[in-house]
């Protein structure tokens, strides 16, 4: 499956969520490399990045202050 850029906000959420689930399952079942809470905090920061930093090449949404 080839990923086209820029992604829609829904595709960005889906792919970051997929990575989050995979990393979480590896952390829980295979190799406990950190606490699960830290993985969740990092994922939430990555999901919120397009709201605060212009990422037009990756996600087709602008920062929230330009949407007002």
Give 25's pLDDT tier (boundaries 50, 70, 90): very high
Domain boundaries in the chain?
9-62
Q: Is residue 8 predicted with pLDDT exceeding 90?
A: no
pLDDT at 67: 61
State yes or no: pLDDT of 63 exceeds 80: no
Reported pTM: 0.75
Tell me what the pLDDT averaged over the chain comes to: 83
CA-wise closest residue to 63 among 52, 15, 40: 52
C-alpha–C-alpha distance, residues 55 and 53, integer Å:
6
The terminus-to-terminus CA distance of the chain in angstroms comes to 35
Q: Which pLDDT band, with edges at 50, 70 and 90, does 1 fall under?
A: low
């Amino acid at each position: 499956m080839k990923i086209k850029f820029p992604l829609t906000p829904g595709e960005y959420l889906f792919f970051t969520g997929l990575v989050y689930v995979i990393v979480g399952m590896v952390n829980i079942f295979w190799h406990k490399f950190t606490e699960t809470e830290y993985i969740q905090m990092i994922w939430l920061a990555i999901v919120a990045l397009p709201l605060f930093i212009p990422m037009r090449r990756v996600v087709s949404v602008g920062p929230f202050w330009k949407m007002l």
